[in-house]
Amino acid sequence: MEYYSKEISRLIEALAGLPGIGSKTAQRMAFHILNMPMEQVQNLSTAIISAKKNIKYCKECYTLTDDDVCPICQDQKRDHKTIMVVENTRDLAAYEKTGKYNGVYHVLHGAISPMLGIGPSDIKLKELMTRLQKDVEEVIIATNSSLEGETTAMYISKLIKPTGIKVSRIASGVPVGGDLEYVDEVTLLRALEGRTTI
């Protein structure tokens, strides 16, 4: 038996499709949206549609941005000879919050996971290797401490070592199995400062 009208059910179903949103939370969100002033609802829907239309990959580091080149890659004060490799844009943001890293980034948009059918060609590795043909002195691998993150780190280090570029891995201040976006800034900073060559 349907408790809600078709439109309400459709809204709840759409919200429940978002990650981390269960049916109860989706119901609360749906009724909150229905009680919002029409102008706020239009602003929310416009922001979602605009982001979907205008957000793209940075041509340098492949983070998500609304410009051709993101603000970090455009910043000439940053050390463009040091590249930190991260799994996603949220991990990049986590390191930026420390305020202590002055290099640039490369966002893979995933990690190698044979179990999920994700291989090296499914993430931005080819683009990383193209970037390394420029003047790069160090690559810091800051993938998560999960099995997939460690597999990706080892794969990248084996690719880069023959080029003579220094390859390092963030230190184990980050808990094993933890995602970088949930780690506090002090732990991230310790991990960055304690990185080791691999």
> pTM, whole model, 2 decimals?
0.77
Non-local (6+) Cβ contacts of 190 within 8 A are 171, 173
53-98 residue pLDDT tens: 999 999 999 999 999 999 999 999 999 999 999 999 999 999 999 8
Query: Which residue is listed with tokens 């401490």?
Result: 145
* Bridge partners for 103 per DSSP: 79
* CA terminus-to-terminus distance, the chain: 59
Domain count, the chain: 2
Q: Is 59 inside a domain boundary?
A: no
Write the CATH number for 106: 3.40.1360.10
Q: Is 69 inside a domain boundary?
A: yes
Q: Mark whether 105 and 181 lie in a shared domain.
A: yes
- Which residues does the chain have with pLDDT short of 70? 1-2, 172-178, 186-187, 190
Write the CATH number for 42: 1.10.8.420
How confident is the model at residue 170, as a pLDDT? 84
Q: Mark whether 45 and 68 lie in a shared domain.
A: no
Q: Mark whether 86 and 125 lie in a shared domain.
A: yes
Q: What domain range includes position 17?
A: 6-54
Note whether 160 and 167 are within 8 A (CB): yes
How confident is the model at residue 171, as a pLDDT? 74
What is the CB-side half-sphere exposure of residue 26 using CA atoms within 13 A? 16
Q: Mark whether 89 and 172 lie in a shared domain.
A: yes
